């Protein structure tokens, strides 16, 4: 099958449909500009159809034996394994991911499906004591009903499945809106995998659309009780505001400005390897990427020389080439924004140890240092291949610099003393941080999420149960209760 022909549609109530909106989303290959698909956007009415289909299908699914539900995820896992090569090519074509990146994304997607199998059996009820004689308190875990999922362009297959699979496993139905730049990998492919795995119609619906067509209909609609959003903090703030106004629970996984801290006793060669990966994986289009590399001044010169030397070895080019490290950014707007940011930062006084060129959507790596302490670039997220090397004097200054940002998603500390690293890590205002490793990690059973502008709530493991189920108290009075009147 041709994914970009057969799956470039809306998927509502088990049917592949052409949208009825007033314009088309054109899906381009970001490396060579090839037109992959043209998709007419979904309307407000079609969003309603998707949610109503989910609402109709959910009760029977929620009542289905969880051992039966998990069979769908076992089959979905086998489908991904059988189609790994086709999925890899789709990731390369639609989002410019390298082969290494595609392998990483597909591996994690499989791990999250394995966890979804277990999540189907995870919800547990409780019986709690009561001060009233003869009373039994039962606390049930129930599906929330319908979940709206909005996924990003950088890891579209993984980050759609990451919310969709647990929500379904826990007995919910889902309406998924993928990013406009990755409508097939983030939407149609996910729907096709579950369709072929035998998921009943209506439980997973995909609407490919944009706020310009539907406004806030996807969030405001009365059916979904939870909205799971992954994307920028700017959009996340809006999602949270609309959810609050409509008494919906929002799970927000937002941007980051992670710091990788290299202390004076670190293994420099290893720290360099970790820093290069942390900054430049998937062209730096990763929320956990290490925007800032903080290095103790006593080792700054040696570290920087090694870091720059390794960055210069990174191959920029065709993501389909197995030797390529840096492929294209997702679109021309992002490429222009990153290039402009480098130019402005250098004009403001920073030193470019490596100055990357821009050709189309290919942006070669840049390494900047000598930034002023109040440089705006130090506090923002850079979704591109730009590394900022910042020296510090001692742990206290490293902690202060690391925390001087509105974000708090991930981070790393490199040191020869693990417990020293833990002490520093505990002082960093971030949801996740790693000792002697990269800043980019996601594991299915470990709580994933950020602090400050990096999000609200957590995903993965038991956090999925909290996110996609609700608690209900049912009390039983055995015998007769006494009443005051």
Annotated catalytic, 287?
yes
Are residues 363 and 224 part of one domain? no
322-332: average pLDDT: 97
75 in any annotated domain: yes
pTM: 0.96
Query: In the structure encoding, which two tokens stand for residue 204, read together?
Result: 């997973």
* Segment 191-245, tens digit of pLDDT: 999 999 999 999 999 999 999 999 999 999 999 999 999 999 999 999 999 999 9
448 in any annotated domain: no
Closest CA to 217 of 228, 204, 207: 207
Are residues 286 and 176 part of one domain? no
Are residues 184 and 42 part of one domain? yes
Where does the pLDDT of residue 328 fall: very low under 50, low under 70, confident under 90, or very high at 90 and above? very high
Are residues 378 and 309 part of one domain? yes
Are residues 266 and 233 part of one domain? no
Could you tell me the residue range of the domain that residue 36 belongs to? Answer: 3-254+454-473
Are residues 360 and 408 part of one domain? yes
pLDDT, averaged across the chain: 97
Report the pLDDT value the prediction gives residue 41, as an integer from 0 to 100.
98
Report the pLDDT value the prediction gives residue 165, as an integer from 0 to 100.
98
Q: Picking from 118-127, 331-340, 392-401, which range would have the lowest pLDDT averaged per residue?
A: 118-127
**Cα-Cα-Cα-Cα dihedral of 60, 63, 65, 68, to 10°?**
20
Are residues 283 and 147 part of one domain? no
Are residues 467 and 367 part of one domain? no
356 in any annotated domain: yes
Where does the pLDDT of residue 2 fall: very low under 50, low under 70, confident under 90, or very high at 90 and above? confident
Question: By the 8 A CB rule, do 410 and 425 touch?
Answer: no
Q: Is the pLDDT of residue 56 over 70?
A: yes
Are residues 267 and 165 part of one domain? no
Q: Is the pLDDT of residue 400 over 70?
A: yes
Give the Cα separation of 105 and 155 in Å (integer): 7
407-436: average pLDDT: 98
Q: Is the pLDDT of residue 1 over 70?
A: no
Report the pLDDT value the prediction gives residue 382, as an integer from 0 to 100.
95
Report the pLDDT value the prediction gives residue 482, as an integer from 0 to 100.
85
CATH number at residue 142: 3.40.605.10
* Segment 157-178, tens digit of pLDDT: 999 999 999 999 999 999 999 9
* Segment 435-484, tens digit of pLDDT: 999 999 999 999 999 999 999 999 999 999 999 999 999 999 999 988 89
Task: Determine what percent of the chain is predicted with pLDDT higher than 90.
Answer: 98
Query: In the structure encoding, which two tokens stand for residue 46, read together?
Result: 């079609």
304 in any annotated domain: yes
Are residues 429 and 336 part of one domain? yes
Q: Which of 46, 287, 381, 395 is catalytic?
A: 287
Please name the residues in contact with 475: beta carbons below 8 A apart, sequence gap of 6 or more. 130, 135, 136, 137, 138
* Segment 254-287, tens digit of pLDDT: 999 999 999 999 999 999 999 999 999 999 999 9
CATH number at residue 307: 3.40.309.10
441 in any annotated domain: no
Question: By the 8 A CB rule, do 192 and 15 touch?
Answer: no
Where does the pLDDT of residue 139 fall: very low under 50, low under 70, confident under 90, or very high at 90 and above? very high
Are residues 348 and 206 part of one domain? no
Q: Which of 55, 105, 253, 395 is catalytic?
A: 253
189 in any annotated domain: yes
Give DSSP secondary structure letters for 228-246.
EEES-HHHHHHHHHHHHHT
Closest CA to 428 of 453, 449, 409, 454: 409
444 in any annotated domain: no
**Total domains, the chain:** 2
Q: Is the pLDDT of residue 115 over 80?
A: yes
485 in any annotated domain: no
Annotated catalytic, 220?
no
Q: How far from 45 is each of 9, 216, 263, CA to CA, in Å?
A: 16, 13, 56
Are residues 326 and 215 part of one domain? no
Determine which helix (DSSP H) or strand (DSSP E) holds 225, and give its type and residue range.
none
Q: How many CA within 13 A on the CB side of residue 405? A: 33
């Amino acid at each position: 099958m041709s994914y970009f022909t057969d799956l470039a549609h809306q998927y509502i109530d088990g049917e592949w449909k052409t949208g009825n909106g007033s314009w088309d989303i054109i899906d381009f290959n970001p490396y060579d500009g090839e037109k992959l698909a043209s998709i007419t956007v979904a309307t407000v009415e079609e969003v309603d159809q998707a949610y109503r289909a989910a609402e109709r299908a959910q009760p029977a699914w929620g009542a289905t034996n969880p051992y039966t539900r998990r069979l769908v995820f076992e089959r979905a896992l086998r489908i991904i394994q059988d189609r790994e090569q086709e999925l890899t090519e789709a990731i390369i074509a639609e989002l410019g991911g390298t082969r290494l990146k595609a392998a990483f994304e597909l591996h994690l997607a499989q791990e999250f499906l394995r966890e979804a199998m277990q999540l189907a059996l995870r919800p547990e009820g409780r019986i709690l004591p009561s001060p009233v004689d003869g009373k039994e308190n039962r606390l049930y875990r129930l599906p929330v009903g319908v979940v709206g999922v909005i996924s990003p362009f950088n890891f579209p297959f993984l980050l759609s499945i990451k919310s969709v699979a647990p929500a379904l496993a826990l007995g919910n139905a889902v309406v998924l809106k993928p990013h406009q730049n990755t409508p097939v990998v983030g939407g149609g492919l996910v729907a096709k995998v579950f369709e072929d795995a035998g998921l009943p119609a209506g439980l997973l619906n995909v609407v490919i659309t944009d706020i310009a067509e539907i406004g806030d209909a996807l969030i405001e609609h009365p059916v979904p009780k939870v909205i799971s959003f992954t994307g920028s903090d700017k959009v996340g703030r809006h999602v949270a505001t609309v959810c609050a106004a409509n008494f919906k629970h929002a799970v927000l996984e937002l941007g980051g400005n992670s710091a990788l801290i290299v202390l004076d006793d670190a293994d420099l060669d290893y720290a360099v390897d970790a820093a290069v990966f942390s900054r430049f994986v998937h062209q730096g289009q990763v929320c956990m990427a290490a925007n800032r590399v903080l290095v103790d001044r006593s080792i700054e010169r040696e570290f920087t020389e090694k870091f720059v030397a390794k960055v210069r070895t990174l191959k920029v080019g065709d993501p389909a080439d197995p030797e390529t490290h840096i492929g294209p950014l997702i679109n021309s707007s992002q490429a222009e924004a990153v290039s402009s940011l480098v130019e402005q930062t250098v004009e403001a006084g920073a030193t470019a140890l490596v100055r990357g060129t821009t050709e189309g959507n290919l942006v070669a790596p840049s390494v900047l240092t000598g930034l002023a302490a109040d440089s705006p670039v130090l506090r923002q997220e850079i979704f591109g291949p730009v590394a900022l090397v910042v020296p510090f004097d001692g742990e206290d200054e490293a902690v202060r610099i690391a925390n001087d940002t509105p974000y708090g998603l991930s981070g790393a500390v490199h040191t020869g003393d693990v417990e020293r690293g833990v002490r520093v890590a505990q002082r960093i205002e971030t949801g996740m941080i790693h000792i002697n490793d990269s800043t980019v990690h996601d594991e299915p059973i470990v709580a994933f999420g950020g602090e400050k502008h990096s999000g609200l709530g957590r995903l993965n493991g038991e956090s999925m149960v909290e996110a996609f189920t609700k608690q209900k108290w049912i009390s039983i009075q055995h015998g007769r209760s006494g009443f005051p009147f």
